[in-house]
Structure 1
Amino acid sequence: MTSFAQLLQQFDPDAPFVSPPNWQQGRTIFGGLSAALSLQAVLLERPTGFPPFKSAQVSFIGPVTQAQTFDVSVLRQGRSVTSVSVDCLSGDDLALRTTLLFAQPRASCIAHDAWGRPLVEGPSRYAPLKLDRKIAPACAYNFEMRPAGGSLPVSGADNPELLMWVRHLDARGVDPAVALIALADSLPPAAMTCFTEPAAISSASWMIDLPQPAVASEWFLINSFSQQALEGYSLQDMEIWDESGRRVLWARQTVAIFT
């Protein structure tokens, strides 16, 4: 089993990358890994003084079933904000297209935060989730998950919400933003809580925002809620907090549902 830290150590954006089997998600590679590697490809080439990662728009175009290559292109570099695009190819086919925004913090007299962390206890107060190999893909075993509320996948729930403490089994030495992007996609889509039996799902798009530059942490609380499921697609909001209660990521994802 190749850990996330080991995988990042082996990653070279100038060479075709073959993902280990334990990062498989059905017939394709874990989408969170491909998105994280897209960011890592940029960070490995960044010059001194490059702004911190701020946001991304990810389009999941096709399955990653072959060696991956990453084509990085700087779209614009301003005084405070830099925009970069990354095309991830599976063999000769475009699999992932990501536009990333890097921004320097700026002084402002405007500061507010309208969202508070859910009222849950720390991760040590909850039992680890025992994954069901009939449901969980191989990539799920790279994380430890502890349900702190909400519903469970494939439980026929009326409430399409996932609320879990999650951590990497090994992300030592990995850039905090890269580790956070991979972890942010670790849970199944929230709509799967309503399933009564396993069925295929596929992420179609993912929008990610970081309120401030990512910093290293062990445990993160992920809250994912399906706002609407209609005509075979789910729209879900995702928020992540660190152990101190600081919100570190907000995202929205469109998921195709094949049931």
Structure 2
Amino acid sequence: MKNLSQYFELAAGSEPFSIDPTWAQGRSVFGGLSAALLLVHIEQQTGLTDKELRTLNVHFSGAITADEPCQLSYETISEGRSVIQVQARLLQGNQCKTLVMACFAKNRDSDIRHQAEILTPSKSREQAQKMPFIKGVVPDFIQHLDLRFTSKALPFSGADQGIITGYMNFNDPHSEFNDASVVALIDAWPPAVFPMLKGPAPGSSVTWNIEFIQPRTELAQDDSLYYECEVKQADLGYAHTEAKIFHPNGELIAFSRQLVAVYDKR
């Protein structure tokens, strides 16, 4: 069983590797991990050091099988003086399973400045309810994470609104809390539409957009991020969700938007 840091080391290279079943999410490997690995691959293979990550767009195009070789590849799509866009793919059996497009931008001087409000969560991390790892009830990858709910309605409780909030970190904090770490954590939460369901039903992310705020305060190894997500619209088997992610000091560090497929009627 490998932790996140060990997989980041593998993703930095060009050799195929497999992902063990403890990172599974149903019949597939956890999508947040696959997106994070592709981001690591891009950053390490391109050597981008003078530009900040601004956006990451993710397309989940197929289930990733645990214990089967994965091949990562990247291609620079465009490169200008300020902005570079790089595409990366995770392949299994010569089929693309996850595709990402990352946009990195060089900081520039500007007179336009508008800062988001500082967040003060309604509950402390110690007051929040930790999601327990129960084999066969929650996804296997949850055993690696520390997710703590502050929202009132839990998944499958038949709530009127789709809202999920809480704290997130890893059970085994790794050497560096970087952008790829944040990517893995954001996708770990149940979709915000799940509290609206009256009983268990499958759901999966189809597409995902993350926007990283710059500048922002660096993260320490044991920091817990705060997550706020709500359903903006849902109908015809799909839900559009929007989330904000906050530093422990209340500073906004990222936006996250997902299209989620919901299979409550099959």
TM-score by length of 1: 0.92
- Structure 2 gap ranges (5+): none
Task: State the match for 1:33 in structure 2.
Answer: 33
Give percent identity, aligned residues only: 27
- Residues 171 and 151 of structure 1: is their aligned pair in 2 closer, same or farther, counting only changes over 3 Å? same
Q: Which amino acid aligns with 2:248?
A: E
Q: Distance in 2 between matches of 1:213 and 1:173?
A: 22
Distance in structure 2 (CA, Å) of the matches to 1:87 and 1:129: 31
- Structure 1 residue 248: Cα displacement: 0.9
- 1:51 to partner: Cα distance: 1.1
Code of the residue aligned with 1:151 in structure 2: it is A
Aligned-residue offset at 1:153? 1.1
> 1:76 — aligned with what?
78
Change (3 A) 1:12 1:82: closer
Q: Look up the equivalent residue of 2:115 and give its one-letter code.
A: D
2: CA distance, partners of 1:213 / 1:27: 38
- 1:257 maps to 262
Unpaired runs of at least 5, structure 1:
none
Q: 2:233 matched to 1:228?
A: yes
* Corresponding residue of 2:224: 219
Q: 1:115 to 1:237 in 2, by over 3 A?
A: farther
Distance (whole Å) between structure 2 residues aligned to residue 208 and residue 25 of structure 1: 21
Within 5 A, what are the aligned runs for 1:176-215? Answer: 176-212=178-214, 215=218
Secondary structure at the counterpart of residue 130 of structure 2:
coil
TM-score (norm 2): 0.90
Alignment CA distance shift 1:38-1:53 (3 Å): same
Q: How does 1:71-110 map to 2 (within 5 A)?
A: 71-110=73-112
How many residue pairs get aligned? The number is 259
Distance (Å, rounded) in 1 between the aligned partners of 2:98 and 2:165: 27
When residues 36 and 256 of structure 1 are mapped into structure 2, their CA distance, relative to the original with a 3 A threshold, is same
Aligned equivalents of 2:228, 2:135: Cα separation in 1: 23
Q: 1:175 to 1:144 in 2, by over 3 A?
A: closer
| Aligned 8 A contact 1:122 1:243 in 2 | no
Q: 1:103 to 1:211 in 2, by over 3 A?
A: same
Match of 2:244 in 1: 239
Partner residue in 2 for 1:45: 45
CA distance in structure 2 between the aligned counterparts of 1:169 and 1:209, rounded to whole angstroms: 25
Whole-Å separation in 2 of the counterparts to 1:212 and 1:91: 38
Matches within 5 A, 1:97-136: 97-117=99-119, 119-136=121-138
Instruction: Kindly state the Cα deviation for residue 132 of structure 1 after the two structures are TM-superposed.
Output: 4.6
Q: Distance in 1 between matches of 2:133 and 2:174?
A: 24
| Counterparts of 1:226 and 1:167, CA distance in 2 | 23
1:48 offset after TM fit, Å?
Answer: 6.1
